[in-house]
Structure 1
Amino acid sequence: MQINLTGHHVDITDALRDYVNEKFAKLERHFDKVIDVHVVLTHEKTRNQHNQAEANLQVSGNHIHAEASHEDMYAAIDALIDKVDRQLIKHKEKVKDHHRAEGAQRNREQAS
């Protein structure tokens, strides 16, 4: 899995880079066909310190986009990982169900 990390108004420190890499590595246990990941970390200086993390994933047969925001950058990354994880599980179930239904239909046709 190729992970590209970009910062917008944020310096990407080694600690942030390692944290993102560690979190996305855990996603591979749910779905191992992630091809490319692009993560953008943004910090906006408004009344509230607002941090946003967004990710675009290219998986086999689909693209997944998720974003999360929080006052703490690490909490924003954690929320982002949770959202991406749910979407990957849903994508995996769709792929699995599609192939299973196709095989069941062939079996019924061959039995007839």
Structure 2
Amino acid sequence: MNLKINSRHLEVTPAMRTHLEAGMAKIRKHFDHVIDASAFLIVDNAKEKELRQSAEITIHLKGKDLFAEAHNADLYHAMDAVVDKLERQVVKHKEKIQDHHHDKRFE
């Protein structure tokens, strides 16, 4: 999987990159058909302190794109939250593409 990380108003440190790659490894464990992923880490001057740090990730699957975003006062918590949201979407997508409708007559 190719992971591209962009940022606005902050510099992506190796620790941030490692943390995000570890989270994406959890997603890859559920579903190995991820073609490409792009992350966007943002620090804004929002009035609410809990909305200042945000993380957005877009995953490109075969025939579908999944997107999630999360806001938090801490960027690492925002990255964890967005990975959790994407993990739920990937599991749901995986269940949809699997054929669970067996023909009962042939069993």
Q: What TM-score results when the alignment is normalised by the length of structure 2? A: 0.88
Which residue does the alignment assign to 2:33? 33
Q: Secondary structure at the match of 1:83?
A: helix
- Structure 1 regions of 5+ residues with no counterpart? none
Please identify runs of 4+ aligned residues in structure 1 that moved more than 4 A: none
Distance 1:80 1:41 in 2: 11
How far apart in 1 are the matches of 2:88 and 2:46? 30
Who is 2:15 aligned against? 15
1:53-97 CA-partner distances (Å, limit 9, x unpaired): 001100122110100000000000000011000000000000003
Aligned-pair RMSD on alpha carbons? 1.8
Q: Is 1:95 aligned to 2:105, yes or no?
A: no
Per-residue deviation, 1:26: 1.7
1:6 aligns with 2:6: yes
By relative contact order (CA 8 Å, sep 6+), the higher-ranking structure is: 2
Gaps of 5+ in 2: none
Decide which of 81, 87, 97 is 1:85's aligned counterpart: 87
Q: Secondary structure of the equivalent of 1:63? A: strand
Larger radius of gyration: 1
| Count of residues in Structure 1 that have an aligned counterpart in Structure 2 | 104
% identical equivalent positions: 35
Q: Supply the AA of the counterpart residue of 2:55.
A: A
Alpha-carbon distance in 2 for matches of 1:46, 1:15? 25
Q: Aligned partners of 2:23, 2:72: CA distance in 1, in Å?
A: 17
TM-score of the pair, normalised by structure 1: 0.85
Counterparts of 2:90 and 2:46 in 1: how far apart (Å)? 33
**Take 2:54 and 2:44, find their aligned partners in 1: how far apart are those partners?**
8
- Of Structure 1 and Structure 2, the greater helix share is in 1
